[in-house]
Structure 1
Amino acid sequence: MSRRCELTGKAVLTGNLVSHSNRKTKRRFLPNLCNVTLQSDALGRSFRLRISANALRTVEHRGGLDAFLAKASNDELAPNVLAVKREIEKKQAAAE
């Protein structure tokens, strides 16, 4: 399982740990990933996702999973979330 947010695409970054004596050693900056269950209003079901805490705040700010996926670009979404986005778009198109 990769350390990548399924909604925003945030992944591990690398950098240097700099000591007081200015020695530099490699380190990794890991995203703050959480296992959450998000509810889709259009589909009426829930989805288990591994997303960053920042993405969880953004989902709440935009008004839920459906609104977040409507605004999100397809290239940063994980394949399983992209399938959910297509299902939601199909369901909303059929409702119109």
Structure 2
Amino acid sequence: MSRICELTGKGRQVGHNVSHANNKTKKVFLPNLQNVTLISEKLDRSFKFRVSTHGLRSVEHNGGLDNWLLKTRDEKLSSNALKVKRELKKAMASSEAA
């Protein structure tokens, strides 16, 4: 399983450990990923995602999962999140038509 946030696209970063003697060794910084269940209000369903803690705060700050998915570019979202976004758009289009 890759270490990438499904909602923000945040992945691993590479940097250096720097010792007191200024020796530099490679280090990998991994995002803090959590398995969470987020609820879509418009679809009345819950979805499981692997999200970074930063992404989780961002989703809550922007008004929930539905608003986050509609505002975020498709390139940042995982295939699982894209499926939910398409389903959400379809549900919104059918509710507007009715």
Shared fold per TM-score greater than 0.5: yes
Structure 1 residue 42 displacement after superposition: 1.0
Total equivalences in the alignment:
96
> 1:1-96 residue pairs with structure 2 within 5 A?
1-96=1-96
Please give the per-residue CA displacement for 1:57-90, whole angstroms capped at 9, x wherever unaligned: 0110111100000100001100111010000000
Tell me the C-alpha RMSD between the 2 structures: 0.5
CA distance in 2, matches of 1:79, 1:48: 13
SS in structure 1 of the partner of residue 42 of structure 2? coil
SS in structure 2 of the partner of residue 74 of structure 1? coil
CA distance in 2, matches of 1:38, 1:50: 10
Q: In percent, how many aligned pairs have the same letter?
A: 56
- Structure 2 counterpart of 1:29, one-letter code: F
Unaligned 5+ runs, structure 1: none
Structure 1 residue 29 displacement after superposition: 0.5
Per the normalisation by structure 1, the TM-score is 0.98
SS in structure 2 of the partner of residue 67 of structure 1? helix
CA distance in 1, matches of 2:35, 2:41: 20
CA distance in 2, matches of 1:92, 1:62: 18
- Structure 1 counterpart of 2:42, one-letter code: A
